[in-house]
Amino acid sequence: QLQESGPGRLKSSETLSLMCSVSGGSISSENYYWGWIRQPPGKGLEWIGNIYDRRSTHYNPSLKSRVTIDVDTSKNQFSLTLSSVTAADTAVYYCATGGYYLDSTGYSPDAFDMWGQGTTVTVSS
Amino acid sequence: QSALTQPASVSGSPGQSITISCTGTSSDIGNYNLVSWYQQYPGQAPKLMLFDVSNRPSGVSFRFSGSKSGNTASLTISGLQAEDEADYYCSSFTSSTTVVFGGGTKLTVL
């Protein structure tokens, strides 16, 4: 299971930090990636990024300059850091996981087969 | 990156079949079979319904099926039931090593 945690509210220009706790399995499991997706109020899903093998990352180009995803194996958690937030970053943030393929072209993630329940983040001015 | 294109809404009567399309490009759906579909009820997290175009995870009804032709993937729900009323999202891996979602389709069971 996955469970998100973090501040529900923050102000513009601050840095958002969210954690996703993994239970029932190890975050060091092979062939699993760990990702973040968000959903603004009343809107669709937006992929934020994935981390593979605890070090390689793929990020949404529109967020890449502000996003960091990292893994803490000692706590069996992974994190999302989003800097310089604005009201446009207000959303429900989900953590999720799935399997991936690795070949000469790099990492190819399969579907998100497990999701956290989501955590609401509100950015105010 | 541009979102995949889905119809904003579809509807059908109980027992009927409906199909939701998801159109991308040769850089995503057209080049990979890493296409998945998610069901989302209001206030809940998305649930995986299909992966790798047409594979159902354990526990997902056989009434859900998927296909792909060129740059377009499709989700078909047969024998429509009231409980199928939800939002549906498609997703694909892309040649830019990113993941892209569709804008979502609201399914109404009449």
Q: What is the DSSP letter of B2?
A: P
Q: Per residue in B50-88, pLDDT tens?
A: 999 999 999 999 999 999 999 999 999 999 999 999 999
* Residues of B whose CB is below 8 A from A62: 1
DSSP of B20-73, one letter per residue? EEEE--TTTTTT-S-EEEEEE-TTS--EEEEBTTTBPPTT--TTEEEEEETTEE
Residue B1 pLDDT? 74
Residue A103 pLDDT? 87
**Nearest-CA residue of chain B relative to A39?**
B45
Is B68 in contact with B17 (CB distance < 8 Å)? no
Least Cα distance to B89 among B27, B3, B30 occurs for B3
**Identity of the amino acid at A12:** S
Rounded to an integer, what distance in angstroms lies between the CA atom of residue A51 and that of residue A34? 5
**Nearest-CA residue of chain A relative to B95?**
A108
pLDDT per residue, tens digit, chain A (125 aa), is: 999 999 999 999 999 999 999 998 889 888 899 999 999 999 999 999 999 988 899 999 999 999 999 999 999 999 999 999 999 999 999 999 998 989 888 898 899 999 999 999 999 98
* Residues of A whose CB is below 8 A from B48: 111-113
List of residues 6+ apart from A114 with CB closer than 8 A:
A1, A2, A96, A97, A98
> Across all residues in chain B, what is the average pLDDT?
97
